[in-house]
Structure formats: structure tokens, C-alpha cells
Amino acid sequence: MPAPEQSFRTKPFSSKRNGGWLANVLPVHFCDSFLLVKLDSAKFRVRPGHGWRLTNSPTATRPYYNSKADYRKQIEERTQELASLQSLLYAHNRYALLIIFQAMDAAGKDSSIKHVMSGVNPEGCEVYSFKKPGADELEHDFLWRTTRCLPERGRIGIFNRSYYEEVLVVRVHPQVLRGQNLPAELLEEGLLWKGRFQSINDLESHLQRNGTHVLKFFLHISKEEQRKRLLARLEDPTKNWKFEAGDLEERDLWNDYMAAYEECLRATSTKDAPWYVIPADDKKNARLIISQAIVDRLKSLKMNYPRPDGAYQKELESIAKLLKEEKS
């Protein structure tokens, strides 16, 4: 029987204090007529070690909002807080934040980025989407094209897909390796993936040591929910453009992808650059969890607004005095 936080039953809501399905899912605190649930982003982190299993991570969990209005209120509060923290990050100019999104098709990467980062100043944030590498990119090592897009100090960089494609898509489609012109001795099954995991960990450790913090989100969607979303794309003319014939071919390889994701997350989730497995069947819930994790990481950084030294402070005060005395 799964742990309470791993089950999500869709029976009618009941707010009875001593009954109702919610009372049997997770411990809750009642406050007048509604339920309050504390969102702890740390519970979704993949802990370093060999015992973690993707099958133990839910694709749906207890909602952290009580209504659409409550969701809108929460996400607005988070985006405002994130905007303030981004401003501090920019002014402090010692750290950078790299946020990575990986997921199966239709899991909600684009909409998560859109909603969670809606309050962020575009001047301090850049989003990069990495698709099939071009000919020039294939002539370099697998980290080259993404390394060129790393965020500067004081900024947030977002990778919509990333260098992790090289241990996910490429692993599920090994024929892709033929186009990478790798030496034959590097193509041994066990050595190749182990080596790439090590290269990724080394890169992220290097970034951490130089002030760039890395947050990684895997949007964990169920196969049934993906089916519904793909069907919605086909039935809605305004969403037809999102559907590609290859989406069904990738869907047929679902189990292969889940195995690749499990090994990848287990091998590359570290204390400093953790993976978060986000239950993604509920897009609103996923956005709240993601936004909280980002806010938590930024709050953990020792940042402050620069303060002028004594001489410069006096100069500023003199300028302010002149402006106040200036006649309009």
C-alpha cells in the first residue's frame, strides 16, 4: 500500500472534521471552513544514493490549493516574492541561478516556465530551449552547446531541456550516437553513460564552486494524463501546432524513458545540484511546488543590497541635498 502522500483519490470533496476522503490522505490543519496544507519543497528532492526509485514518486499528490482563486492568490504571491529575490540577486551580483526542466512530452514545461517566471524582470532572466543538435554542435563534446548559454552572475538562466538529453533521448535512441563521431573505445555501453554522468556532476560541481547554483526539475506525468493532453492538442485547433507525429513514437518508448530517467536522476542528484521530481498531473500544483523550490533556494543564498562606503555615502547625501534645494 503506498504511503499517504503518494496516493491521490478523486472522490467528491468533503470538509467534515471527522470524515471525508481528505482526512484519510494526509494530516491536515483545519482553519474555519477550509484546509491548510504546508508546502515543503524538500519532500520532492531526490536524495543522493542508490536506493531511490522513480516508481515510488507520485505523478499526482494532494493539492496545495483549495480553489482556483486560492491558487491564483498563491502563485501571485510567489511570483512577487521571486521578483524581489531576482532583484536582490541582480544587485548582489555574486551568484547566478541555473534552472533545468526535463520531462516527457505534454508534461507542462512551457506553461510552468510561463506562469512561475511571469513576474521576473526579463533583463535578468533568459530561457533557452534545446532541441536536436545541429551539425556544428555535433562536432563538439555534448556539454558544449549548453555551456555557452550559462547565466552570468546576477542572473537566472532557464534550460527547457538541456545537456541531460544526452543521457536520456540519446540513451533511448542509441543510433543518435553514430552522428556524434565519438571514438570507438568510448562507445562501450557501461562506460559511456557512467562517463557522461560523471561529466555532468563535474560541471555542476564546478558551477557551484564558482557561484552558479543549479536547480533541476523533472515534471513527472502519468502515461494516462499524457494521453489526455495529447488528445486535447489534436482536438483543439489552437493547439494542433504543438503536436508532432514523433510524439506517438516517443510515447511507445515510455518504459525505456522511465528507466533512463530513473538512472539519470539517481546518478546526478547531488546535495548542491538536486533533482526535484514534481508530480505533474495537476499543472497548478506543479507550478506551486516549483515556485516554492526556487524561492527556497534563492532565500538560502547570503545576499544583500550593496552599501556605499563612507565617502560615497557622503557624496550621495550631498547630491540629495542639492536636489531637494533645487527650485522646480
Q: Do 108 and 16 reside in the same domain of the chain?
A: no
Q: Do 51 and 159 reside in the same domain of the chain?
A: yes
> What percent of the chain shows pLDDT beyond 90?
72
Q: Do 53 and 201 reside in the same domain of the chain?
A: yes
Does some domain include residue 196?
Answer: yes
pLDDT at 101: 98
Confidence tier at 43 by pLDDT (50, 70, 90): very high
Tell me how far apart the alpha carbons of residues 185 and 205 are, in angstroms, rounded to a whole number. Answer: 27
Does some domain include residue 97?
Answer: yes
**Number of structural domains the chain divides into:** 2
Using alpha carbons only, what angle is made at residue 130 by residues 124 and 131, rounded to the nearest 5 degrees?
A: 155
Does some domain include residue 309?
Answer: no
Q: Is the pLDDT of residue 65 over 50?
A: yes
pLDDT at 257: 98
pLDDT at 202: 98
Long-range contacts, stretch 309-315, CB < 8 angstroms, 24+ apart: none
Mean pLDDT, range 45-62, rounded to an integer: 91
- Domain limits at 22? 1-36
Q: Do 23 and 62 reside in the same domain of the chain?
A: no
Q: Do 9 and 72 reside in the same domain of the chain?
A: no
Does some domain include residue 86?
Answer: yes
Average pLDDT, the chain: 88
pLDDT at 34: 46
Q: Do 10 and 61 reside in the same domain of the chain?
A: no
Q: Do 88 and 26 reside in the same domain of the chain?
A: no
Q: Is the pLDDT of residue 2 over 90?
A: no
Burial class from Cβ neighbours inside 10 Å (0-12, 13-18, 19+) for residue 277 reads buried
What are the beta bridge partners of residue 219?
103, 278
Q: Do 20 and 68 reside in the same domain of the chain?
A: no
Confidence tier at 13 by pLDDT (50, 70, 90): very low
pLDDT at 23: 37
Q: Do 11 and 52 reside in the same domain of the chain?
A: no
Does some domain include residue 312?
Answer: no
Does some domain include residue 175?
Answer: yes
pLDDT at 192: 94
Q: Do 32 and 45 reside in the same domain of the chain?
A: no
Does some domain include residue 323?
Answer: no
Q: Do 159 and 291 reside in the same domain of the chain?
A: yes
Show Cβ contacts of residue 41 under 8 Å, excluding neighbours closer than 6 positions: 276, 289, 292, 293, 296
pLDDT at 162: 98
Span 304-320, pLDDT tens digits? 999 888 888 888 888 99
Does some domain include residue 310?
Answer: no
pLDDT at 190: 74
The string over 95-108, giving b where at least 16 C-beta atoms fall within 10 Å of a residue's C-beta and e elsewhere, is bbbbbbbbbbbbbb
pLDDT at 186: 87
pLDDT at 37: 67
Q: Do 292 and 267 reside in the same domain of the chain?
A: yes
Q: The domain that contains 93 carries what CATH number?
A: 3.40.50.300
